[in-house]
Amino acid sequence: MIKDFRRFEVTDPFGRTWEVEFLWQQNAISIRHSDTVDVKFALRCGAERLEKVIALRHPDLLEISRKAGRPITDPWCARLAALHLARIMEAGEDMEKSLVTVGAEDLEEYAAQLRQRATAA
């Protein structure tokens, strides 16, 4: 589990360790006319640099927050996005994409992980 969503490391399938840094989060309606919350990360492995935007669909966030009885907050969204980024990096998925949209089932799984972590603490 990621302890700090602002700065963490992920190892890809090739054994390379990437340093990940949270850059920003914003409502994508204003920048790309999408009903999502976009969370941007910078990734670095040696001299290689990448940027990834993880898009969380607002309707999915609303449904998951309703089921969980919790508000949609900036830290919660950033943590959900960080979990997805870590999973796709570890699996080597979507590495060619700079914008990755998270599916509803994945979001529910990440929200459950965050709930478990909160109750265990």
How far apart are the C-alpha atoms of 42 and 32, rounded to whole Å? 20
| Residue 59, CA distances (Å) to 10, 15, 36, 50, 54 in order | 29, 36, 8, 28, 15
How far apart are the C-alpha atoms of 85 and 100, rounded to whole Å? 9
The one-letter code for the residue type at 66 is: R
* Tens-binned pLDDT, residue by residue, of the chain (121 aa): 688 999 999 999 999 999 999 999 998 676 666 799 999 999 999 999 999 999 999 999 999 999 989 999 999 999 999 999 999 999 999 989 999 999 999 999 999 999 998 887 6
HSE, CB side, 13 Å, CA atoms: give it for residue 68: 22
- pTM tops 0.75: yes
How far apart are the C-alpha atoms of 121 and 22, rounded to whole Å? 23
